[in-house]
Amino acid sequence: MFTELSADHLPTTAKEFWLVNDKKNPTILFAGNNIGEDYLFELTSFLKDKKFGVINISKSGTTTETALAFRLLKKQCEDQRGKEEAKDVIVAVTDAKKGAARTCADKEGYKSFIIPDNVGGRFSVLTPVGLLPIAVAGFDVKQLVAGAADMEKACGKDVAFEENPAAIYAATRQALYTQAGKKIEIVCNFQPKLHYFAEWWKQLYGESEGKDQKGIFPAACDFTTDLHSMGQWIQQGERSIFETVISVETPNEKLLFPHDDENLDGLNFLEGKRVDEVNKMAELGTRLAHVDGGVPNILVNVPELNAYYLGQLIYFFEKACGISGLLEEVNPFNQPGVEAYKKNMFALLNKPGYEAESKAIQERLKNE
């Protein structure tokens, strides 16, 4: 059992429900992406008396969420396994030379993997940040990387715009934003396994494009589930949205509708049909309804859910994100806005070095 620590946990959870683990490999649990006391208490309680290791993913080692969780789990692992044994199951994914996590790894003798200097957290799925936990969980990272490499070729500089899927997607969404007034993009899927992939997509585009008072707001819906909550708004709400539908052509399994003698639910007309056939008609019917309701649709087809095509999908969205940000005339590779809340949090916690900020924020709170 391995616990992964990372504030940017979504690159790995994007893969979390794609494939069925054969249970021969460790279970991956996540921490370091929130400061929920109940969650961390329940996690440490669950890990009590269990053999577990820790993958500490942090370029600096000082990100609050990750550092707090690592301190808790490092101590628990050492208490339960002994310091010598614990150092063999604690792994650092961090900067090559600097930072608290690098210092700790070198001092304790942890095995470590490098986060490239020029790759931000949300773009790091195809680095050790994502590949190590995915490999530990027993999935085929070679196929994941192979898919990404093939998509890199398909989106290369020498590929004409009309044949470049990443360029077409980036240009289309920016045209909808700047020329049609569509300020919200909803990534939709009809496969539960894509839930966390969509969560990663939200981080990828939100952090990359939301700058200078500009940017398409990234949202996500899991259909058909969210048709029973968000479907009404999408169909008849403000026409400021467009959808990007990730459509999976072939499921990995086969399940047929059975016959029922009483037919109380009236579904015998589906007898012998695959569940996926019904899902496909729900998808097509939804797309037609939303287009009729004034919601433009972008369709992204995925042949099947496996590591190879996931690698393609990851690279496709990453490449398109860079292009789209540049078309928007922002830097898609930084995220300066996230420092604002951290500054306030440290001031409120009276962190050393934030004395002036602490005084200013306390005065502000008195006057509100």
DSSP SS3 for 76: helix
Active site residue: 207, 283, 318, 328, which one? 207
C-alpha span between 205 and 151 (Å, rounded): 19
d(CA 113, CA 95): 8
Residue 78: exposure state from Cβ atoms within 10 A (0-12, 13-18, ≥19): middle
How many degrees, rounded to 5, is the angle at CA 190 between CA 187 and CA 194?
65
Collapsed DSSP state (helix, strand, coil) of residue 85: helix
CA distance 60 to 49: 30
207 given a catalytic annotation: yes
Closest CA to 172 of 243, 248, 122: 243
**Residue 329 bears catalytic tag:** no
Cα torsion 179, 180, 181, 183: sign: negative
* Cα(115)–Cα(59) distance, integer angstroms: 7
Given the residues 24, 228, 254, 366, the one annotated as active site: 228
Residue in the block written with tokens 């909803």: 186
Task: Please give the order of strands across the beta sheet that includes 241-250.
Answer: 217-222, 184-189, 241-250, 297-304
Q: Which two tokens stand for residue 254?
A: 């086969």
Active site residue 195: no
Question: Annotated catalytic sites, by residue?
Answer: 207, 228, 342
